[in-house]
Amino acid sequence: MATLRLGDLAPDFEQDSTEGRIHFHQWLGDSWGVLFSHPADFTPVCTTELGTTAKLKQEFERRNVKVIALSVDSLASHHRWIADINDTQGTEVNFPILADADRKVAELYDLIHPNASATATVRSVFVIDPAKKIRLTITYPASTGRNFDELLRVIDSLQLTEYQSVATPANWKEGDDVVIVPSLQDPELLRKKFPKGWEAVRPYLRYTSLPKRAE
């Protein structure tokens, strides 16, 4: 199928997982979602990634994000692998891992790239909003573990744009100034949304501050 693009509807599916049968859109409900794929079970980089994801459970929850992983290995293999992840990473896997042995989900999300591998999924991540639209895609080489600080940063940025009408400048992190989206021009609405005001460096470049997210 064609490569999924930002703004596309995330394909729905039903597939078995380590936490039972998953009907993806129903499982997401009104949450944001992170779907991330792994080339195979019992691989070193993936093991560290799934352990890191488990340790970040509270960070994902306070952003209203559900996390789900995928590998084309079997459910039995996943359960054996989880024991290794828990042991080596000092955590407990607390999210579902899809068992995509028939590659149904991998094909829906274009995760089999023949130039990388004819059988294993590439290391991709999708951020999906509550409307089930794809808001971010990143694909890493198999040898490079994902940067979860960056993933959380992007989710924060997407949610600020979605709910606060702001965008985030280069190297932004939570607590830094943001920029007001150019489409917001109504003076009354601007004053209502940003009662502390803003600095207009240019008509299109307006900096403002926002309170940090509650812990």
Q: Which of 146, 154, 195 is nearest to 172 (CA)?
A: 154
CA 17, 21, 24: angle at the middle one, nearest 5? 90
Is 77 among the catalytic positions? no
- CA distance linking residue 96 with residue 86, whole number of Å: 14
> Could you tell me the strand order of the sheet in which 178-180 lies?
166-167, 178-180, 205-208, 199-202
> Cβ neighbours of residue 94 under 8 Å, at least 6 residues apart?
54, 57
> Which residue of the set 22, 46, 50, 72 is catalytic?
46
CA 126, 33, 137: angle at the middle one, nearest 5? 15
> Cβ neighbours of residue 102 under 8 Å, at least 6 residues apart?
none
Active site residues: 46
